[in-house]
């Protein structure tokens, strides 16, 4: 029976690790350049910290950890006999795996509020777990890379987060990303104007289909959802919502004159878009998108989502926004936060598809010493020690196997250089260095060896 791993989880090979670390390190370096500091939280939290924070669907998808020992002792006999799984859960499980990085971060801020200097710019790169149905780009264990600022309502943060996205994707050579931006207050304004807050999601979902089903189709869908023709008429500019961000913002301003909150949203959006335009982006473009309704119940200001370059079919590769009351759920009110997340696994798939991992250095030795026996190995090990002190990745083939087998090993691992040490080399105190690509062979001293392999 061949062993396997749980569905939705993955083993990572050395090559995959190298590619993933390339992304992690790029994101991490950008986070730190922007002044963010790392924190980490435990893989599992008390269930009370997580449950009820992500809606019913979220509660269902959270992985629960069984209490240790005689866990049934505390369980209610009647519920057990009724097999009431839902109610029994809290009696036999007190811990659960992290579902995202935001709720643990909120918990961290409240718990450590006296040690933190606000505004607190933190980043966190850790795995999260969801009992979701696995599919392409969706796993049960995956990494999130989050940066958030808490303790300031300044819109400069929104500007910085757009720059941060642009910096990371430019560094990854992923040109042509689109950073979509919206504002919760504009959505509220639209809801006000169409006269039905509860219809807002139906409205944005329908509007999002404009490209596919055209204006007529969208209007038809909206009416079927109970939005009146009169209301639709009031926001009709959204059906021809094109042109520059400035055009869109002006159009929104006109449309939302009747909504104070809507106009506040327009003002915020204008500041962010104007400032980003003034400062410039490297390879990304910023696009106002009023259909963006991501995490609607959560965000209170800016909403972000990043789309991969158009030639790649992939869901969003990042997202975020502002939430005015992050820590309220843990009893610390009025702490505004804003943050973004990078979707590591999807970014990986995009870079792979576009062949952008070419430059990644694999964690393999630069040089292999062929092993001809005890005396040769000992002589080699002295040289290897010198190479390693100079940070040159090197190894001795562990056994004095046949030359062909050792060379095969070097080829399979794509090791660039091989050193051959026989009795002649020992006698002359020198090394035969072979370039495995060119086939070129050279005799050299230990210091020449260090010099040649250092380059």
Nearest-CA neighbor of 446 among 397, 400, 389, 407? 389
Order of all β-strands in the sheet with 141-150: 37-38, 120-129, 141-150, 337-343, 318-323, 302-307, 178-183, 285-288
Among 34, 239, 298, 357, binds a second copy (CB under 8 A): 34
Asked if 57 interacts with a second copy (CB under 8 A), we say: no
Among 53, 107, 199, 434, binds a second copy (CB under 8 A): 107
Tokens of 73: 């002792």
Residue nearer to a second copy on the CB measure, 39 or 193: 39
Say if residue 144 carries a ligand binding annotation.
yes
Asked if 42 interacts with a second copy (CB under 8 A), we say: yes
How far from 24 is each of 49, 125, 197, 334, 432, CA to CA, in Å? 27, 8, 40, 32, 39
Asked if 279 interacts with a second copy (CB under 8 A), we say: yes
Sign of torsion, CA 244 246 247 248? positive
Q: Which residues inside 10-29 make contact with a second copy, applying CB under 8 A?
A: 10-14, 17-18, 21, 29
- Least distance CB 131 / a second copy (angstroms): 4
Asked if 45 interacts with a second copy (CB under 8 A), we say: yes
Q: Which stretch binds a second copy (CB under 8 A): 108-116, 200-208, 347-355, 429-437?
A: 108-116
Asked if 177 interacts with a second copy (CB under 8 A), we say: no
Nearest-CA neighbor of 430 among 441, 418, 420? 420
Asked if 175 interacts with a second copy (CB under 8 A), we say: no
Q: Which residues inside 401-420 make contact with a second copy, applying CB under 8 A?
A: 409, 412-413
Cβ contacts of residue 250 below 8 Å, gap of 6+? none
Among 138, 264, 364, 452, binds a second copy (CB under 8 A): 364
Residue nearer to a second copy on the CB measure, 213 or 378: 378
Beta bridge partners, 179, equal: 286, 306
Residue nearer to a second copy on the CB measure, 18 or 205: 18
- Regarding beta strands 337-343 and 302-307, do their DSSP bridges make them parallel or antiparallel, or are they unpaired? unpaired
DSSP string, 278-298: HH--SS-EEEE-TT--TTTTT
Residue nearer to a second copy on the CB measure, 44 or 203: 44
How far is the C-alpha of 419 from the C-alpha of 366, rounded, in Å? Answer: 11
Say if residue 148 carries a ligand binding annotation.
yes
Q: Which residues inside 283-342 make contact with a second copy, applying CB under 8 A?
A: 330-331
Say if residue 132 carries a ligand binding annotation.
no
How far from 237 is each of 50, 215, 273, CA to CA, in Å? 41, 11, 20
Residue nearer to a second copy on the CB measure, 12 or 445: 12
Say if residue 54 carries a ligand binding annotation.
no
Q: What is the DSSP letter of 239?
A: G
Say if residue 100 carries a ligand binding annotation.
yes
- Least distance CB 32 / a second copy (angstroms): 5
Residue nearer to a second copy on the CB measure, 43 or 291: 43
Q: Which residues inside 183-242 make contact with a second copy, applying CB under 8 A?
A: none
Residue nearer to a second copy on the CB measure, 5 or 359: 5
Q: What is the DSSP letter of 135?
A: B
How far is the C-alpha of 281 from the C-alpha of 30, rounded, in Å? Answer: 15
Among 24, 58, 61, 263, binds a second copy (CB under 8 A): 61
Q: Which residues inside 64-83 make contact with a second copy, applying CB under 8 A?
A: 64-66, 68-73, 75, 77, 80-81, 83
State the number of binding residues for a second copy (CB under 8 A): 109
Residue nearer to a second copy on the CB measure, 77 or 229: 77
How far is the C-alpha of 101 from the C-alpha of 41, rounded, in Å? Answer: 9
Asked if 278 interacts with a second copy (CB under 8 A), we say: yes
Nearest-CA neighbor of 245 among 266, 264, 273, 220? 273
Residue nearer to a second copy on the CB measure, 116 or 205: 116
Q: What is the DSSP letter of 118?
A: S
Sign of torsion, CA 173 284 315 324? positive
Cβ 335 vs Cβ 325: under 8 Å: yes
Binding-site members for L-histidine are: 100-102, 130, 144, 148, 294, 298-299
Binding-site members are: 100-102, 130, 144, 148, 294, 298-299
């Amino acid at each position: 029976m061949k062993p396997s791993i749980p569905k939705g989880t993955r083993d990572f090979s050395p090559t995959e690790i190298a590619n993933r670390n390339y992304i992690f390190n790029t994101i991490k370096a950008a986070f730190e350049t922007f002044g963010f500091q790392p924190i980490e939280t435990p893989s599992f939290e008390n269930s009370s910290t997580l449950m009820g924070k992500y809606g019913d669907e979220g509660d269902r998808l959270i992985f629960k950890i069984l209490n240790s020992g005689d866990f049934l002792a505390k369980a209610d006999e009647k519920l057990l006999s009724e097999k009431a799984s839902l109610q029994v859960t809290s009696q036999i499980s007190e811990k659960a795996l992290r579902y995202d990085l935001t709720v643990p971060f909120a918990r961290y801020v409240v718990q450590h509020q006296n040690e933190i200097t606000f505004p607190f710019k933190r980043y966190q790169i850790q795995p999260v777990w969801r009992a979701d149905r696995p599919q392409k780009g969706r796993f049960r264990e995956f990494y999130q890379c989050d940066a958030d600022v808490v303790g300031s309502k300044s819109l400069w943060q929104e500007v910085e987060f757009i720059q941060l996205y642009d910096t990371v994707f430019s560094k990854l050579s992923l040109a042509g990303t689109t950073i979509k931006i919206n504002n919760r207050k504009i959505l509220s304004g639209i809801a006000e104007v169409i006269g039905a807050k509860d219809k807002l999601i139906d409205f944005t979902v329908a509007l999002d289909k404009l490209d596919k089903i055209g204006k007529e189709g969208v209007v038809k869908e909206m009416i079927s959802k109970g939005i009146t023709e009169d209301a639709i008429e009031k926001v009709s500019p959204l059906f021809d919502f094109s042109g520059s961000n400035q055009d869109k913002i002006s159009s929104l301003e006109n449309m939302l004159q009747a909504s104070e909150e809507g106009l506040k949203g327009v003002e915020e959006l204008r500041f962010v878009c104007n400032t980003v335009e003034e400062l410039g982006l490297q390879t990304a473009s910023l696009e106002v998108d009023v259909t963006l309704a991501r995490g609607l119940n959560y965000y209170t200001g800016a909403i972000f989502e990043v789309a991969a370059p158009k030639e790649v079919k992939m869901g969003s590769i990042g997202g975020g926004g502002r939430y005015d009351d992050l820590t309220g759920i843990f009893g610390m009110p009025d702490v505004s936060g804003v943050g973004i997340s990078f979707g590591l696994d999807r970014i990986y798939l995009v870079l792979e598809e576009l062949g952008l991992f070419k430059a990644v250095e694999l964690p393999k030795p630069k040089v292999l010493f062929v092993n001809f026996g005890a005396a040769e190995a000992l002589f080699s090990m002295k040289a290897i020690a010198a190479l390693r002190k100079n940070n040159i990745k090197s190894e001795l083939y562990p056994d004095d196997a046949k030359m062909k087998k050792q060379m095969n090993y070097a080829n399979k691992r794509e090791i660039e250089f091989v050193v051959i040490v026989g009795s002649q080399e020992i006698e002359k105190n020198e090394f035969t260095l072979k370039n495995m690509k060119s086939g070129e062979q050279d005799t050299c001293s230990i210091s020449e060896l260090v010099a040649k392999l250092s380059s």
